[in-house]
Structure 1
Amino acid sequence: MKFEITLKKNTEMNIPNLMKQWELSDFGLNNLKLNTVPVPTPGPKEVLVKTAAVSLNYRDHLVTSNGMGMPLAFPFVPASDMSGAVVKIGSRVSRFKINDKVISTNIAGWIEGPAPSPDIAPSLGGMGPGVLAEYVCLPEDWLSLAPKNLSPVESATLPCAGLTAWMAVFEKGKLKSNETLVVQGTGGVSLFAAQFAFSIGANILLTSSSDDKINRAKSLGISAGINRFNNEDWHHNVSQLTSGRGADLIIEMAGSENLQKSLDAVAQEGRIAIVGVLEAADATLPIFKVLSKRSSLLGIGVGSRKSLEAMCSYIDLHEIRPVIDAIYRFEDSPKAFDHLKRGAFGKVVIEIQ
């Protein structure tokens, strides 16, 4: 009996009745407030996670600003990507035990195979629950074990940015070691993509509006950088740097006219992985050029839990460390959102003590 009492105390101690979480009362960062709420209790097949860190994606800025067209219910908890430790489990939980280090999946319930409808598998921090809180209660299927070699702050960067880059470079983009990749900008997805490409020995070109960021990125294995402000027709530089062949795979981040330049820069039968639309959501493409180049346009929308688990194993195997630009305290979360809006070199992370 004494052993059973001690075990219960060790596995469920230090769980308070109340916790802090950030909530939006309406759209706009000025409406983001730190509130006190009850700590949730896990139901059947649910686990309670003590949050260690939350990483921000540009989508989080858009959601807090205008909801991205989603009918959000207020109060709304933002952010989708977290790491933490399991501190309590509900009945019929089979995937995790107390103290397991876990990360969230960005799209809830997408286990494997083709992407399901958002009605079935909503994204966290959108139509699904947000994670910017001291404790998060989620179905066990919505979580994955964190990589063994990364810190909680590093692990929190993986569910969206890391997995999006993984899908763009490997699972959808099929990059090979003898090919050339172009990454655009120095945000989390682009730098993860560069690291994945470097791990197989591919040639990596980077476009950025900052010479300083280009120089910083060279430590990640970048072969050459192109300042797109000084070279608006950056696709010509790609052609020169590849002896006229063009890039085999391009990570498209901007949309609009930039997508046309990516089409000019891509090699015959090359691939353009469309990840972001930072400049505009619409684009007009010369269809004849798409046909004549036999190029493929790949829409990338994060990935399944199975892909996340494969990526985590790969990161452990190749000792890849996420690039983190800044770490903010939990109580300074609005400052982290401001940093995100300004632009970051890699990831912005909120650490929860």
Structure 2
Amino acid sequence: MKTLRAYSLAAVGTVLALAAVAEARAQSSETIRQYQFAAGSDGYELVLREVPRPVASSGEVLVRVRATSLNRRDWSMLNESVRARGVNFDGAIPLSDGAGEVIAVGEDVTRFEVGDRVAGTFFSEWVDGQRTAAGLASARGASSGGMLSEVIVTHEDGLVAIPDHLTYEEAATLPCAGVTAWNGLFTEGNLQPGEYVLLEGTGGVSSFGLIFATAAGAKPIITSSSNDKLARARELGAVGTVNYRENEDWQVEVRALTDGAGVDHVLEIGGRDTQSKAMEALAFGGHFALIGGLTGAAPPIPVGSLVRTGSSATGIYVGSRADFEAMNAFMEEHQLRPVIDRVFSFDEAQEAYDLMGNGSFMGKIVIAH
């Protein structure tokens, strides 16, 4: 009779054998598994399909994707509200964020070779400098190829090398939320040691803002409706925390935490329910990074208030490959790791989307391939 340990070892062996078979197929089969958006009666659905294996043409790189991560944008693409605006994602590959290993290169590729560890940039064609219409049209997971696939092909310009100290799961969290927080605080905000930073909620952008601000010697203050998440934020370096559900006028408490001076930086992701209050917490000469609208569209920024206080507001839409590379250098220098709430398997992609939808997570949600 087999012991419980024998059964356990057999189960582990079966899982490893299945994983080995899946990996062999991904590496050499003529077909690969890939998720796609499929139009349904109520928005879109995730469908796992078997498709022809892509081939790297001149200037292109073939990547065995090892992990992907979700952003709120990805969850929104499944909603009827997005489809109602006339956006067609039918057949597109979901997810902008992913990391993996180079398994083949086309002719004329000079930036990478087989075996390199890479992550895709959010905009595959925004390399450096100011944003352009063409660059913004290359966002992955929408008008350009997504990452929720066993293998993807992309131009070499749309990839960056990932820091050696990060796992694939950690690197997969960087392209959107990480670069957005970096751009808002450093590229546009010129964050300095000792300055106060207001972070709204504990999702991906705010969690990156927290670890970046702490590493830079700044003073992050973070809001949340969960005291457990606020306790975790204090462990990660927050100098002040405010529960906005328990304190409707949370901006007053935020300002009090700065001895009345106000915060020097705001990563504004809330929109309608947060923007005006966050503006009240902004210091003279502060920087307001406009990022998102999780609670709905916010009214226009009051220009008179910016003029009176000498403050500035910048619209942030992720960033360029150069921003990504600068962020990676900073993370390597300080040995920073992202905040990951949970890692799902490739076959559990829908469950990952469900967790994103209910909001009961902190940091990033990852899918391991």
Aligned length: 340
Q: Among all aligned residue pairs of Structure 1 and Structure 2, give the percentage whose two residues are the same amino acid.
A: 36
1:179 aligns with 2:195: yes
1:255 aligns with 2:255: no
1:18 aligns with 31
| Deviation string, structure 1 residues 38-62 (Cα, Å, up to 9, x no partner) | 1111111111100100011000011
2:207 aligns with 191
- Deviation, structure 1 residue 64: 2.3
2:102 aligns with 86
Aligned-pair RMSD on alpha carbons? 1.7
- Deviation, structure 1 residue 233: 1.1
| Deviation string, structure 1 residues 59-96 (Cα, Å, up to 9, x no partner) | 00111224474633521211011100010111111111
Matching of residues 203-222 of structure 1 within 5 Å: 203-222=219-238
Matching of residues 334-353 of structure 1 within 5 Å: 334-343=350-359, 344-352=361-369
1:57 aligns with 2:34: no
Structure 2 contact 126–135 (Cα < 8 Å) conserved: no
Structure 2 contact 194–219 (Cα < 8 Å) conserved: yes
- Deviation, structure 1 residue 119: 6.5
Structure 1 contact 64–78 (Cα < 8 Å) conserved: no
Work out the CA distance in 1 between the residues paired with 2:331 and 2:29.
34
Q: SS state of the match for residue 256, structure 1?
A: coil
- Deviation, structure 1 residue 257: 4.1
Q: SS state of the match for residue 279, structure 2?
A: helix
Structure 2 contact 137–143 (Cα < 8 Å) conserved: no
TM-score by length of 2: 0.89
1:76 aligns with 92
Work out the CA distance in 1 between the residues paired with 2:262 and 2:124.
37
Structure 2 contact 59–109 (Cα < 8 Å) conserved: yes
Q: In terms of mean alpha carbon deviation, does 307-316 or 328-337 score higher?
A: 307-316
Work out the CA distance in 2 between the residues paired with 1:342 and 1:257.
18
Structure 1 contact 195–221 (Cα < 8 Å) conserved: yes
Q: SS state of the match for residue 64, structure 1?
A: coil
Structure 1 contact 257–283 (Cα < 8 Å) conserved: no
1:231 aligns with 247
- Deviation, structure 1 residue 280: 1.4
> Which residue identity is paired with 2:53?
V
- Deviation, structure 1 residue 310: 1.1
TM-score by length of 1: 0.92
Work out the CA distance in 1 between the residues paired with 2:106 and 2:204.
34
| Distance 1:70-1:135 versus aligned 2 partners, 3 A rule | farther
Gaps of 5+ in 1: 1-12
| Distance 1:192-1:55 versus aligned 2 partners, 3 A rule | same
Matching of residues 4-43 of structure 1 within 5 Å: 14-26=27-39, 31-43=45-57
| Deviation string, structure 1 residues 1-36 (Cα, Å, up to 9, x no partner) | xxxxxxxxxxxx942111111112116677211111
Structure 1 contact 40–136 (Cα < 8 Å) conserved: yes
- Deviation, structure 1 residue 291: 2.2
- Deviation, structure 1 residue 217: 1.0
1:7 aligns with none
- Deviation, structure 1 residue 348: 0.2
Q: SS state of the match for residue 165, structure 1?
A: helix
Structure 1 contact 70–126 (Cα < 8 Å) conserved: no
Work out the CA distance in 2 between the residues paired with 1:329 and 1:70.
32
| Distance 1:119-1:101 versus aligned 2 partners, 3 A rule | closer
| Distance 1:120-1:308 versus aligned 2 partners, 3 A rule | closer
| Deviation string, structure 1 residues 305-332 (Cα, Å, up to 9, x no partner) | 1111111111111000000000000001
Q: In terms of mean alpha carbon deviation, does 263-272 or 26-35 score higher?
A: 26-35
1:321 aligns with 337
Gaps of 5+ in 2: 1-25
1:200 aligns with 216
Q: In terms of mean alpha carbon deviation, does 61-70 or 93-102 score higher?
A: 61-70
Matching of residues 124-203 of structure 1 within 5 Å: 124-203=140-219
Work out the CA distance in 2 between the residues paired with 1:195 and 1:340.
21
1:46 aligns with 2:60: yes
